[in-house]
Structure 1
Amino acid sequence: MTQSNDISRRQFIRMTAAASALLVGGVGYGLAKQQQMTRVTETQMLLGSVANLTLISHQPEKARQAIAAAFGKMSALEDVFSRFRPNSQLSQLNAKGHLQDAHPAFVDVMAKAIHYGDLSSGAFDVSVEPVLRLYRQGSQSGTMPSDDQIAAAQQTVDYRQISLAPDSISLSKPGMAITLDGIAKGYIIDAGAAVLRDHGFEHILVELGGDLQAYGDADQRPWHVRIERPRSSSSAPIMTSLENRAMATSGDYQNAFTPDLRLHHIIDPTSGISPGELASATVIAPTACDADALSTTMLVMGTQADLALIEQLPTAEALLITKAGQAYTSANFPAST
C-alpha cells in the first residue's frame, strides 16, 4: 500500500506540472447562462493517476450522484487491472500463468490487446511485462539490466501465446507476464463515461492521467484541448478540439527509467529497449481504449509506419512529435498552432 501511495503522489506532481501534456477547456459562460447549466467536477486517484469527471447539467445533485456511480465502476475495474494490487486479477494471472473465473472486462481488454498486437504486427504487445520489470528494478537499484538479462526476458514475450476463453485467460510460456499500462487506462475511462451517459447526461468529460473521453460540448463548441510540445517550453502549444471523441498521449517523459529519457515505460518488444525516434504520440479515436492502445503502438513504430497505419484507420487521427521537436500529423488531425 505504501508503494502504491508513493506512486500516486509522484504521478499527481507530474500531471499538475503539465507532464501529461494537455489542458482541457471547460464550460463557457454563454451555455451556463442560457440554460442555467452548472459545471460539476469531482476528482479521485485511480491507477496511480488523477481522475477528473466533469458533467455540465442543470441538475447538479443528480450529476454528483452519477459521478459517484462512475467512480465506483472505475474503481472496481482498477481492482481487476492494477499491477500494484497483489489480489487483482492481473496480479493473479501473472503469478500463476492462468486465471479461471476471469472478469468479463479482463477478457475483453485482453481480446482488444491481441487485436492491436495483430494490427501492429507485434509492436503493441502486452506480454512485454518481464522486460519492463527488469527496467523498473534497475531504475530503483541504480543498475540497469544487462543485455543478456534483457535477451532472456524477451524470450517470454509473445502476445500470440495468450489464450482466451469466455471465462479464463492462460499464458502459454513459462515466465510470461502481462502489463495493461498501455490499454487499461483508456478502457476504464470509457467505462466511466458509459455510466455517466447511462444516467442521461450528454455533456461529459472524463479525464484520467491526461487521457480523456469527451461527449457533447462546452459553450456550444467542442471541448478545447492544448497539447504541449515535449521539452519545448518556448514553442506554441498545439490546439485541438474534441466532440464525442477520445484522446490519449504516450510520451517518453511520462515514466522514464533514465534521466536522459533514453529508457522509459514503453518498450519495443523486438529490440527490448525503448524506441528512439518519437518523444510523444497523441491519438484521437472514438474510444479512449482505442486511443490509449494506438498511442502506445505509435510511439514504438515510429513516424513513417505510424502515418501509414493511421491512414488505414478512418476513425483515428494522430499527432507525432519527434525527440528533435518536429511535429507530424495525419491528414485530418484537427490541429491549429
Structure 2
Amino acid sequence: MARIDRSRRRFLGLTAAVAGLALLPAAAAARAGLLHGWRGTALGADACLRLVHPDAAEARRLIGLCLAEVARLERVFSLYRGDSALVRLNRDGRLDDAPADLVRLMSEAAAFGRASGGRFDMTVQPLWSLHARHFARAGADPAGPAPAEIAAARRLVGFQAVEIGAGRIAFARPGMQVTLNGIAQGYITDRITELLRQEGLDDVLVDMGEIRAQGRRPDGRPWQVGLDGAAGIGPLALSGGAVATSAAAGTVFDPAGRFGHLIDPASGRPEAPWRSVSVAAPTATAADALSTALSVLPPGEAAGLLARHPGSTAFLTAADGGTTVMGTRVPG
C-alpha cells in the first residue's frame, strides 16, 4: 500500500538521481507476477513507480523514460538550479523563451489563485524567503519577521501581476518571485502518468511527491493509498485518480517548530488552521494545488472551493487529530 507521509518536506529539490537507484530486486518482482517497480528520491521527496507489464526489460526501459522526463522538468521548475527556467524568471523578472510546461503550469496556478480568492498564490516566494532569512540569522526574534518587513514583502505578492502569454512570462513589479512548490509535484506526477499511458500502459501507480493511479494491480484490485494522520479514514481505493497531502509541520522555519512553510498570502505569515490536508481529485495537479490552498483557507470557505472542483474530496485533520471530510466524491 502506498502511503502519504504528512510530515514529508514540500519543496522542489528535484534530485531524481538515477545513479544508485535501481529497479526493485528481480525476486520481488517475480513474486508479484506482472508488477515491476522503482523506488528512490525525486522532487525532494520519496518517490516510487509501480507498473503492470509482462516484460521486465520493457518495464526497465519505461522507468528510464520516466526518470529522464523528471530530470527534464527539473530544468524547468527547480528553485535550486541556477539554470532552471524558473530561476531565470525570478532573477530577470521576465522570460521571453518560456518553456511550454512553465507557461501551462503557471496558467493553471493562476486559475487556482482565482478560484481560491488568492489563498493559492504562486508569487508568495518573497514571503517565504523573508521568513527563511529571518530565522537563519543568529538571535532571530522568535516572533518572526517585523510587521514592516512582512508588509514590504506582501507588496511583491499578487499572481494577477504576472503576465503569461505564448512563450513569454513577465512580472509587473520589480522584485516579484514565483514558487510552484504547491503544484509542481502534482503536475510532474501527471506528466509521468500521461507518458506511461502514451506508451500503452493501462495499470500504473505514480508517486512523484503526489500520487496518481490508473488501472489496477495485477490481481485486479484497485491501488490502495493510505492517509497518514487522517483519523478514522481507511485506505483509499484508486483506479483513476490522485491524492496529495499538505502539512505545515512538513517543513518549519524556526527551531521551535511554530512557523511552518505554508504561508497565507492574506496575512503574510505562516498560518494553517489544519494539521494536515489531503485531497483526492481527478488529477495530481488539482489535488496538489487544492491541498495547498485549503491548508491556509479559513475553514468556512473550504466547501465553496471544493464545490468549484467537482470530483474532489478533502480530508481536513485538526490539531486534536479529528478529521473532517468535505467534497463531492473520491475518484475511483
Compute the displacement of 1:260 (Å): 5.0
CA contact (8 A) 1:303 1:320 kept: no
Compute the displacement of 1:39 (Å): 1.6
Shift in alpha-carbon separation, 1:68–1:287, aligned structure 2, 3 A: same
Shift in alpha-carbon separation, 1:294–1:238, aligned structure 2, 3 A: same
Shift in alpha-carbon separation, 1:17–1:103, aligned structure 2, 3 A: closer
Q: Distance in 1 between matches of 2:85 and 2:172?
A: 17
Q: 1:216 is matched with which residue? A: 215
Q: 1:308 is matched with which residue? A: 304
Q: Distance in 1 between matches of 2:215 and 2:63?
A: 16
Q: Distance in 1 between matches of 2:186 and 2:46?
A: 14
CA contact (8 A) 2:132 2:253 kept: yes
What whole-Å deviation, never above 9, does each CA across 1:169-228 have from its counterpart, x for those lacking one? 00111110001100111111111111111111111011123x111111122122111111
Q: 2:75 is matched with which residue? A: 79
Compute the displacement of 1:165 (Å): 1.2
Supply the AA of the counterpart residue of 2:281.
A
**Counterpart check, 1:58 vs 2:59:** no
Q: 1:268 is matched with which residue? A: 264
Shift in alpha-carbon separation, 1:77–1:262, aligned structure 2, 3 A: same
Q: 2:64 is matched with which residue? A: 68
> 5+ residue gaps in structure 2?
10-29
Instruction: Provide the secondary structure at the position in 2 that maps to 1:284.
Output: strand
Instruction: Provide the secondary structure at the position in 2 that maps to 1:330.
Output: strand
Q: Distance in 2 between matches of 1:215 and 1:38?
A: 16
Shift in alpha-carbon separation, 1:108–1:296, aligned structure 2, 3 A: same
Q: 1:194 is matched with which residue? A: 194
Compute the displacement of 1:304 (Å): 2.2
Q: 2:247 is matched with which residue? A: 251
Which deviates more from structure 2 when the two are superposed, residues 147-156 or residues 131-140?
131-140
Q: Distance in 2 between matches of 1:252 and 1:43?
A: 25
CA contact (8 A) 2:276 2:316 kept: yes
CA contact (8 A) 2:6 2:276 kept: no
Q: Distance in 1 between matches of 2:164 and 2:314?
A: 30
Q: Distance in 2 between matches of 1:93 and 1:71?
A: 25
Q: Distance in 2 between matches of 1:258 and 1:227?
A: 26
Q: 1:155 is matched with which residue? A: 155
CA contact (8 A) 1:53 1:207 kept: yes
CA contact (8 A) 2:183 2:288 kept: yes
Q: Distance in 2 between matches of 1:323 and 1:149?
A: 29
Q: 1:124 is matched with which residue? A: 120
Compute the displacement of 1:237 (Å): 5.7
CA contact (8 A) 1:222 1:242 kept: yes
Q: 1:42 is matched with which residue? A: 38
CA contact (8 A) 1:228 1:238 kept: no
Compute the displacement of 1:52 (Å): 0.9
Aligned residues: 304
Supply the AA of the counterpart residue of 2:79.
R
**Counterpart check, 1:168 vs 2:168:** yes
Q: 1:92 is matched with which residue? A: 88
**Counterpart check, 1:19 vs 2:15:** no
CA contact (8 A) 1:70 1:192 kept: yes
Instruction: Provide the secondary structure at the position in 2 that maps to 1:71.
Output: helix
Supply the AA of the counterpart residue of 1:159.
F
Compute the displacement of 1:51 (Å): 2.0
Shift in alpha-carbon separation, 1:222–1:181, aligned structure 2, 3 A: same
CA contact (8 A) 1:311 1:330 kept: no
Shift in alpha-carbon separation, 1:316–1:305, aligned structure 2, 3 A: same
Supply the AA of the counterpart residue of 2:205.
L
Supply the AA of the counterpart residue of 2:93.
G
Q: Percent identity?
A: 32
Q: 1:115 is matched with which residue? A: 111
Compute the displacement of 1:50 (Å): 2.4
Q: Distance in 2 between matches of 1:17 and 1:245?
A: 18
Shift in alpha-carbon separation, 1:47–1:17, aligned structure 2, 3 A: closer
Root-mean-square deviation (CA, aligned residues, Å) is 2.3
TM-score by length of 2: 0.85
CA contact (8 A) 2:4 2:228 kept: no
Determine which structure has the larger helix proportion and give its number.
Answer: 1
Q: 1:25 is matched with which residue? A: none
